[in-house]
Structure 1
Amino acid sequence: MDYTTLKKAGEKWGVTPRWINYYCSSGRISGAVKMGTVWLIPKNAEKPIDGRTKEARRNRNGK
């Protein structure tokens, strides 16, 4: 499987590497693996839905 870094995933998804780190540590990116101090993210991983947006609230409420 091909992996990417926090920085590259952040550029792809339009968020900071810190957010990617949060997503990985909370288990929201499936297939992400921590090797030492570095998170490896599958290149084909999808961006998790940000729970602070209207879209996420709609998905949570089933509307």
Structure 2
Amino acid sequence: MFEYMTAGEAAALWKISVRRVQRLCKENRIEGVLNINRVWLIPKEAKKPDDAQRRKE
């Protein structure tokens, strides 16, 4: 069985805002997310996506 965390738990773990996590989920930038009754469920093993605004060198 998969283990999930909420957007609030992911935000605390990744040190970003809840709104940013919700946006990442909506943009399908986090693999395996589920949206059930307007609650985002994120797999516990999911990695924080790279910031698309930062240049990789």
TM over 0.5: yes
Shift of 1:33: 0.4
Q: Which has the higher helix share?
A: 1
4+ long deviations beyond 2 Å: none
Per-residue CA shift, 1:3-61, capped at 9, x if unaligned? 000111000001000000000000000000000110000000000001122xxx22xxx
Q: Secondary structure at the match of 1:22?
A: helix
Instruction: Please identify the structure whose Cα radius of gyration is greater.
Output: 1
Instruction: Name which structure has the greater RCO, CA cutoff 8 Å, separation 6+.
Output: 2
TM-score for the superposition, normalised by structure 1: 0.84
Identity over aligned residues, as a percent? 36
| Structure 1 vs Structure 2 CA RMSD | 0.9
Partner of 2:35: 34
For structure 1, which runs of at least 5 residues remain unmatched after alignment? Answer: none
Unpaired segments ≥5 residues, structure 2: none
Question: Could you tell me the TM-score, scaled by structure 2's length?
Answer: 0.92
